[in-house]
Structure 1
Amino acid sequence: IDIVNMKAMRFKDGKFSADSIPDELKPAADKYRTKLVEKIAESDDTLIEKYLEGGELTDEEIHKGLREGSITRRFIPVVCGSAAGNIGIQQLLDTISVCLPSPLEMANITPIFGVNPRNDEKIERKPAESDPLSMRVFKTIADPFAGRLTIFRVFSGVLKADSTVYNSTRESREKIGNIFYPLGKKQVPVQKAGPGEIAVVAKLKYTKTGDTLCDMGNPIRFEQMKFADPMISYAIAPKSRGDEEKVSTGLQKMLDEDPTLKFHRDTETKEMILSGMGQVHLEVTLEKLKRKFGVEVEMKTPKIPYRETIKRSSRAQGRYKKQSGGRGQYGDCWIEIKPLRGGANFEFINKIVGGVIPRQYIPAIEKGITETMLGGIIAGYPMVDLQAKVYDGSYHPVDSSEMAFKIAGSMALKKAVQGANAVLLEPILKIEVVTPDEFLGNVIGDLNGKRGKVQGVEPMSGGNQNIIALVPMAETLTYANQLNSLTSGRGMYSIEFSHYEEVPAHLAQKIIAERTKPKEE
């Protein structure tokens, strides 16, 4: 409902129409319309007199009052909509045009502040052509034909075509060629851009999103833009074999466009991981990847980096003997394994005495153990927190070799683990969730349902609560979408790794069964 123009806006397939407000919504619309008019009238003596006498203002007076109230910051207009559903976008643009001031109107009210990059002294710039040039890059676009396009807003001074500017963020010079105004899909060439204007230049060498560009003789650096950490991650894979390099190259260029995107290859799972602010954000990114770079990918939840460990001590023999004519292979060792505490992943102890195993074969035994730990034993995940002690064995003066003792060490570990109560460990994340008060119970209940352990709840300003909890990583893979649903889009969260913890037995059985299930041909 548009309470400024008192119309019901209906949206479908990216198009909208303005109709009369339905009868059932009219009382609520009238109520909020009255509040809006009262707020506008309070900001102007002339309007308050007219309102008290007649109780209504004209559309022109309302628009004027909205604009003046925004300029003086007596109030801030709020516009509702959905970028994903293409709802309310035109209304937002109209509101910006009607309500928000031009920089020239703000010139004597709110100068912008920065620091001199040479001495960190605080300085100001007024949004006027007479002040030295200063501007900030707020977006970068990787165009497959035109190259990198840099979009910026001029705060003060005038940027002219075919000039040189100073990037105070990166301490480098940039050559400005042609300047364009972005008008929808078109780019209109211009000779200059002044305060408040948004313009585009191409092929800057060093400049990235958030950088400050300014006059060489009057440098200024604005406060660095802070970008939110990603809230959701997915594994991605190209639909066509051989396209991995194209995916990686395309995404690296798109990272320049969007600093809230993160992309890396998981060294353990070998998956390409793409992280962003939400599922829609990632879907839009992949659609751009397809459109600009001609490569299609599919998203799936990333693999969980489980670990294996043991809970008690165990001893076992590894004896490898092979005879097939000529020189054979012989290696024999006894090892004891124990759980290791204190954060050390592995410890190897040599307790061989009397030369029952020659010294040169001891490193081979250790290598056999560590390589087997890396590949896992019960489910194929790396084994951690284990001490291995070799204390006995035997050798053959002719047939023994490093390879034979390496195999013997591996065999001994596999046998010892069978009696050591091996278990799976899962990564536990520390999660901080900020939610409005009214959703607190739902969010805590949801965290408890995810095997989470709430560590504390802290009240925040603005009617919000900060929940601190420990939650298994396996339960958080789609949490951004779930939190969005629980809090009507008003919740946010951050996560960081905390520690590893044993997986409950009933879940571990399912994970091991799935991991060891024979693959279909």
Structure 2
Amino acid sequence: RTKLVEKIAESDDTLIEKYLEGGELTDEEIHKGLREGSITRRFIPVVCGSAAGNIGIQQLLDTISVCLPSPLEMANITPIFGVNPRNDEKIERKPAESDPLSMRVFKTIADPFAGRLTIFRVFSGVLKADSTVYNSTRESREKIGNIFYPLGKKQVPVQKAGPGEIAVVAKLKYTKTGDTLCDMGNPIRFEQMKFADPMISYAIAPKSRGDEEKVSTGLQKMLDEDPTLKFHRDTETKEMILSGMGQVHLEVTLEKLKRKFGVEVEMKTPKIPYRETIKRSSRAQGRYKKQSGGRGQYGDCWIEIKPLRGGANFEFINKIVGGVIPRQYIPAIEKGITETMLGGIIAGYPMVDLQAKVYDGSYHPVDSSEMAFKIAGSMALKKAVQGANAVLLEPILKIEVVTPDEFLGNVIGDLNGKRGKVQGVEPMSGGNQNIIALVPMAETLTYANQLNSLTSGRGMYSIEFSHYEEVPAHLAQKIIAERTKPKEE
């Protein structure tokens, strides 16, 4: 306590003089020193507690009341600036009722009974019930109905809200968290709030069949509440993917989904979008012949496949001469090849980076058809791939990890253990290091939890897709065996 009082006394010349003379400060003087030091940012008060255990909550509220400045005090320390959305001209707003209305939305709540609740703070002017405001972020108008003060779980109706006040309105159509609402005749747009990118993703599925639509609808409403959540359907793996800041974050989200919308969801690691390709050239014939009375089916083609470099996904070349295959059947051969590539051959993953050339074949003047040549093209590709040294490719991610100096060795060692390739390490301010590495996606699915453990919760990272690389042979065998196992059974 002595050290704390000394620090507080240093915030004011009068207080330090009295403290040095007498060694004691009254509660009022301590509060004054706390307030002055907090407002001028000479120090930052730290309060300990637990919201879950309702410990320290009253102390936190008391500290806010004592230490933090009112909007009027902050106007002289940190003026409120925005831009005119029409010309990007800088504008200042004062926390006064006489200034034009301006406010920012800082939270949205999806209430299953009241609908969407928008919580905002008024910076200037007065918001009145049953009025119209302008959303300068979305360039749209919003109708304001009743206004409420939030008081715990209760909402107290009021007729207006002024500078510095926090209030709630319901059922705004376009407004989202971070948006600026203002007077239509005096528009202003405040700097957009920046939200962290998700650090972890999981595949989710409802426990009860038929609840997919409920899950999707409920999560879309919860995305309004929490902009750090992301949700999408993976068109390739057919999974619903939920992304957030950590495993606990996602677990809390799914618990709220159950409580608010009555749907239970299971969470599991998402599937990896592997690819298939070939490493050498190969030739093969695809010949489809079917005779069962009446008109039969006949299609015959020879193709050559080669690895394709330079990032192109697929290339088809027609080298038929002399009419051995009529021109109208060539697109069917290409379609048979591309559809087979999409379904994969060695493990059921899409095939990429391949050139296919049709150079020979034959046809029947009566029995040949587009369907027959489509099947022939598919058969030719499957045979050719058998001699082309087909391999699996896996997505490689570029990962940037920020960690305190003392954990650098542990983090790099962990990345190396994940088949990662460290590209560089850059020193940062504050005793941190920025590590840049390339790591297979399969090794990063639970990295957020592992990094927290390695750095005592002080590390952070971001990831982005880089490229595809061949999967090591011993791992590819396991993936292919697991992928084809249900088919064999």
TM-score interval, normalised by the smaller of the two chains:
over 0.9
Distance 1:385 1:66, change over 3 A: same
Q: Tell me the equivalent position of 1:448.
A: 416
The one-character-per-residue Cα deviations of 1:47-96 (angstroms, maximum 9, x if unpaired) are 21233345454554333322221112222223456667877555443432
The one-character-per-residue Cα deviations of 1:83-119 (angstroms, maximum 9, x if unpaired) are 6787755544343233212223334333211112233
The one-character-per-residue Cα deviations of 1:340-375 (angstroms, maximum 9, x if unpaired) are 101111111122222222222222211111111110
Q: CA deviation at 1:132?
A: 2.6
Distance 1:421 1:72, change over 3 A: same
Distance in 2 (alpha carbons) for counterparts of 1:429 and 1:85: 40
Distance in 2 (alpha carbons) for counterparts of 1:292 and 1:146: 12
Taking only the aligned residue pairs, the percentage that are identical comes to 100
Distance 1:87 1:426, change over 3 A: farther
Q: CA deviation at 1:519?
A: 6.2
Distance in 2 (alpha carbons) for counterparts of 1:385 and 1:398: 36
Structure 2 unaligned segments of length 5 or more: list them.
Answer: none
Q: Tell me the equivalent position of 1:79.
A: 47
Distance 1:251 1:520, change over 3 A: farther
Distance 1:520 1:375, change over 3 A: closer
Moved more, 55-64 or 375-384: 55-64
Q: CA deviation at 1:165?
A: 2.2
2:361 to 390, 393, 404: 393
Distance in 2 (alpha carbons) for counterparts of 1:85 and 1:315: 70
Distance in 1 (alpha carbons) for counterparts of 2:140 and 2:323: 66
Distance 1:380 1:324, change over 3 A: same
Distance in 2 (alpha carbons) for counterparts of 1:274 and 1:426: 21
Q: Tell me the equivalent position of 1:153.
A: 121
Q: CA deviation at 1:289?
A: 1.5
Distance in 2 (alpha carbons) for counterparts of 1:79 and 1:377: 60
Preserved contact between residue 150 and residue 202 of structure 1 (Cα < 8 Å) = yes
1:45 to 13, 20, 32: 13
The one-character-per-residue Cα deviations of 1:297-356 (angstroms, maximum 9, x if unpaired) are 111111100000011111111122222222222222221111110111111112222222
Distance in 2 (alpha carbons) for counterparts of 1:85 and 1:434: 32
The one-character-per-residue Cα deviations of 1:99-154 (angstroms, maximum 9, x if unpaired) are 21222333433321111223322121222333332111111111121111110011
Q: Tell me the equivalent position of 1:223.
A: 191
Q: CA deviation at 1:385?
A: 0.5
Distance in 1 (alpha carbons) for counterparts of 2:3 and 2:460: 30
Moved more, 89-98 or 64-73: 89-98
Instruction: Give the number of aligned pairs.
Output: 489
Preserved contact between residue 158 and residue 194 of structure 1 (Cα < 8 Å) = yes
The one-character-per-residue Cα deviations of 1:276-311 (angstroms, maximum 9, x if unpaired) are 111122122212211221111111111100000011
Distance 1:499 1:274, change over 3 A: same
Moved more, 381-390 or 35-44: 35-44
Q: CA deviation at 1:378?
A: 0.4
Distance 1:180 1:359, change over 3 A: same
Which secondary structure does the structure 2 equivalent of 1:518 belong to?
helix
Which secondary structure does the structure 1 equivalent of 2:345 belong to?
coil
Preserved contact between residue 430 and residue 495 of structure 1 (Cα < 8 Å) = yes
Which secondary structure does the structure 1 equivalent of 2:436 belong to?
strand
Moved more, 336-345 or 154-163: 154-163
Q: CA deviation at 1:517?
A: 0.5
1:243 and 2:201 equivalent? no
Q: CA deviation at 1:258?
A: 1.7
Q: Tell me the equivalent position of 1:119.
A: 87
Distance 1:232 1:181, change over 3 A: same
Q: CA deviation at 1:157?
A: 2.2
Moved more, 311-320 or 495-504: 311-320
The one-character-per-residue Cα deviations of 1:394-439 (angstroms, maximum 9, x if unpaired) are 2222222222221111111111111111100000011111112222
Preserved contact between residue 110 and residue 126 of structure 1 (Cα < 8 Å) = no
Which secondary structure does the structure 2 equivalent of 1:334 belong to?
strand
Which secondary structure does the structure 1 equivalent of 2:486 belong to?
coil
Preserved contact between residue 107 and residue 128 of structure 1 (Cα < 8 Å) = no
Which secondary structure does the structure 2 equivalent of 1:49 belong to?
helix
Distance in 1 (alpha carbons) for counterparts of 2:248 and 2:412: 25
Distance in 1 (alpha carbons) for counterparts of 2:409 and 2:436: 14
Structure 1 unaligned segments of length 5 or more: list them.
Answer: 1-32
Distance in 1 (alpha carbons) for counterparts of 2:336 and 2:33: 79
Q: Tell me the equivalent position of 1:516.
A: 484
Distance 1:171 1:405, change over 3 A: closer
Distance in 2 (alpha carbons) for counterparts of 1:78 and 1:441: 31
Distance in 2 (alpha carbons) for counterparts of 1:395 and 1:501: 40
RMSD: 2.0
* Superposition TM-score, scaled by structure 2 size: 0.95
Which secondary structure does the structure 1 equivalent of 2:77 belong to?
coil
Which secondary structure does the structure 2 equivalent of 1:108 belong to?
helix
Preserved contact between residue 136 and residue 210 of structure 1 (Cα < 8 Å) = yes
* Superposition TM-score, scaled by structure 1 size: 0.89
Moved more, 46-55 or 503-512: 46-55
Distance 1:174 1:327, change over 3 A: closer
The one-character-per-residue Cα deviations of 1:488-518 (angstroms, maximum 9, x if unpaired) are 2222111111100000111111100110012
The one-character-per-residue Cα deviations of 1:160-212 (angstroms, maximum 9, x if unpaired) are 22222222222333222211111111111122222221110112222221111
The one-character-per-residue Cα deviations of 1:417-465 (angstroms, maximum 9, x if unpaired) are 1111110000001111111222211111111111111111111222221
